[in-house]
A and B are shown apart, each in its own frame.
Chain A
């Protein structure tokens, strides 16, 4: 099927417009981060700062322990992503391949659990973690993130496992491969994009999370990046906009890097199962 040049140009224009729409918040954040205070209060803001400055970054780093907070966030997010995937993958496999009542009930519970608001569970959670002596620790926070992201991770992975034809595993078995060999050599490689997408989901969820971190961490040395970012905001929502934008810009970078590293696998993961075999 051939596409007319005019139609193709229209498609590119629409795509470009969509990309600009998606990139706008990030580019505006970038622009704001380099603007001096007097340009922030301008009635006619410009895309390119007229007098670009690094002062916002300097102030942000001087006022708040951004690097330390970023490290805390990274540890909690990576920990959550790794553990969530390690736990969810075998569970998802069982749920996808053995459609028992228990598996269906578990699927239903996963959906229901997503409806619980944070506020409803935070106090019992706080008390449980206190009992486990995990309040004010990154290990405790990571545990919460794992539990929080597990249902959705499981849901995602069940879909990916179902997208891997069971006939492939049966063929491997006919060829003499054992159960473990089949899983490692046949299923796992096909599932890898889905696992990468799920890990990224768990990572981003934990990286951006604010409320649990606010409530569960007390020591300044344990605070994560989203909590530290709010230190630039005062009562009634007044904000120290320049340093906040600088810090927020830096906070977006790790997610972008992880996206860039996993991009190909994620794309494969997202379209897995889109075409019926």
Chain B
């Protein structure tokens, strides 16, 4: 009996030991580890294909594709940086980079990237990855928030169809959603599980800034007239007009799709990439189209947090890593990545590709919005995550559900919010 147990344990330990990699292979070549967060089938395929192409053309620099995931990426990277085991090339979102950039975990790319890439991406996109004097990521994919609409419903109601050249104003949007509603049917369903980023990003269109940076560099919250336009529209649609159901306020975007397909909602504001799910899940014969989000005093402007590629500060082959990023983001390759993720490329050459200007699936509407996208207003504000979780999220949720009024919302965002931000800026 004892022999059997000993043998079993020994076999198990040997098996486990055999499964460990035991460190990096040493075949004389440079090996870069590229952690990608691509997750949609076409996107993963495009990334893997590009890595294969790179490896075929570069015998001396091998890139190893590592599948990462959005869920928990911040904690995973944080631990990897602390332990000196981070991937060389890192895929993330610009709003996740600030802590790593200020913490010295990411390499400053200013002197590493070729002029072609620098000049191809507009300055406003670079702003999203510039922290202090350094650039800590290459912004390469982004998505505006759009209105996905039931075409047949809009046609039947004979409402004016907005275009990027002639969008709905927020007031007009409210009137139209009221016109489309009735008998358990709603003009719009707001999936506001994450109410803060949606509100702030769309709020830019109405001139909302919310965060004000003083001459001393300190940021304070000031809830101005422009900041009230989007919240008031949503609040009134839910609580006064009954043109938006209260039931979806706590839902994610995917949760609203069955109701949208089932003819319960005429429109759903969603990220541009949701089109892939809609195309896949919509019942046969269901007609849908992509409309620009409503415009305010600042037109179609809205905030985005682009997807980024960064290099770890600990990477010993930064020049090669930058060359790989340059390869991935050549215009044709950027188009492949954008099509795979159903998102917009940041590069101007890629954005001009005819494949992204077809009317099918609303691509043309999306590309027309690209010039209006700005870095999300909050992403460089230190203390934003705590302000968002402790103050803003509950305050917006209560306001949208009708539990508090605009005055109380303003008071909480400003008074309570500034106390939180002050702690980060002492």
Measured CA separation A119–B74 after assembly (Å): 12
Knowing A211-B72, A230-B71, A233-B39 are in contact, say whether A43-B19 is a contact too (CB < 8 A).
no
Q: Which of B65, B80, B194, B281 contacts A38 (CB 8 A)?
A: B281
Let me know if B85 and A130 touch, CB within 8 A. yes
Interface string of B269-295 (1 = CB under 8 A from A): 001011001001111100000000000
Knowing A40-B281, A41-B261, A236-B253 are in contact, say whether A215-B79 is a contact too (CB < 8 A).
yes
**A159 within 8 Å of B (CB atoms):** no
Which residues of chain B are within 8 angstroms of A106 by Cβ–Cβ distance? none
**B84 within 8 Å of A (CB atoms):** yes
Can you name the residue of chain A whose Cβ is closest to the Cβ of B45?
A: A63
**A169 within 8 Å of B (CB atoms):** no
Q: How far is the CB of B22 from chain A (nearest CB, A)?
A: 7
**B252 within 8 Å of A (CB atoms):** yes
Which residues of B235-285 have CB atoms within 8 Å of chain A's CB atoms?
252-254, 257-259, 261-264, 271, 273-274, 277, 280-284
**A264 within 8 Å of B (CB atoms):** no
Knowing A41-B261, A233-B39 are in contact, say whether A135-B85 is a contact too (CB < 8 A).
yes
Knowing A41-B282, A79-B12, A214-B76 are in contact, say whether A238-B83 is a contact too (CB < 8 A).
no
Q: Which of A8-16, A121-129, A193-201 contacts B (4 or more CB under 8 A)?
A: A121-129
SS class, residues of chain A in contact with chain B: helix
Let me know if B20 and A140 touch, CB within 8 A. yes
Which residues of chain A are within 8 angstroms of B282 by Cβ–Cβ distance? 38, 41
Interface string of B14-55 (1 = CB under 8 A from A): 011101111100000000010001011100100000000000
Can you name the residue of chain A whose Cβ is closest to the Cβ of B257?
A: A41
Let me know if B39 and A130 touch, CB within 8 A. no
Knowing A237-B252, A240-B40 are in contact, say whether A43-B79 is a contact too (CB < 8 A).
no
Measured CA separation A127–B350 after assembly (Å): 42
Interface string of B327-364 (1 = CB under 8 A from A): 00000000000000000000000000000000000000
**Size band of the A side of the interface?**
35 or more
Measured CA separation A230–B73 after assembly (Å): 11
**A221 within 8 Å of B (CB atoms):** yes
Which residues of B66-98 have CB atoms within 8 Å of chain A's CB atoms?
66-67, 69-72, 75-76, 78-80, 82-85, 87, 93
Which residues of chain B are within 8 angstroms of A134 by Cβ–Cβ distance? 20
Q: How far is the CB of B315 from chain A (nearest CB, A)?
A: 14
**B297 within 8 Å of A (CB atoms):** no
Q: Which of B19, B41, B79, B258 contacts A139 (CB 8 A)?
A: B19
Measured CA separation A123–B79 after assembly (Å): 6
Measured CA separation A250–B325 after assembly (Å): 36
Let me know if B254 and A239 touch, CB within 8 A. yes
Which residues of chain A are within 8 angstroms of B39 by Cβ–Cβ distance? 231-234, 240
**A219 within 8 Å of B (CB atoms):** yes
**A99 within 8 Å of B (CB atoms):** no
Measured CA separation A227–B15 after assembly (Å): 21
Knowing A42-B262, A221-B21, A232-B39 are in contact, say whether A126-B67 is a contact too (CB < 8 A).
no
**B152 within 8 Å of A (CB atoms):** no
Which residues of chain B are within 8 angstroms of A235 by Cβ–Cβ distance? 37, 70, 93
Let me know if B253 and A240 touch, CB within 8 A. no
Given contact pairs A122-B75, A222-B21, a sample of 9 additional A-B residue pairs in the complex whose CB atoms are under 8 Å apart: A79-B16, A138-B20, A214-B72, A218-B80, A220-B66, A231-B44, A233-B71, A236-B271, A238-B253
Instruction: Give the 9 A-B CB pairs with smallest separation, nearest first.
Output: A43-B262, A137-B20, A41-B281, A230-B69, A37-B280, A126-B83, A139-B16, A138-B19, A43-B258
A-B contact pairs, 29 of them (CB 8 A): A38-B284, A41-B282, A42-B258, A59-B41, A63-B41, A72-B19, A122-B75, A123-B82, A123-B83, A126-B85, A127-B83, A130-B85, A136-B20, A137-B21, A139-B13, A139-B19, A210-B72, A211-B75, A214-B69, A218-B66, A220-B66, A223-B67, A230-B72, A232-B39, A234-B40, A234-B70, A236-B70, A237-B252, A240-B41
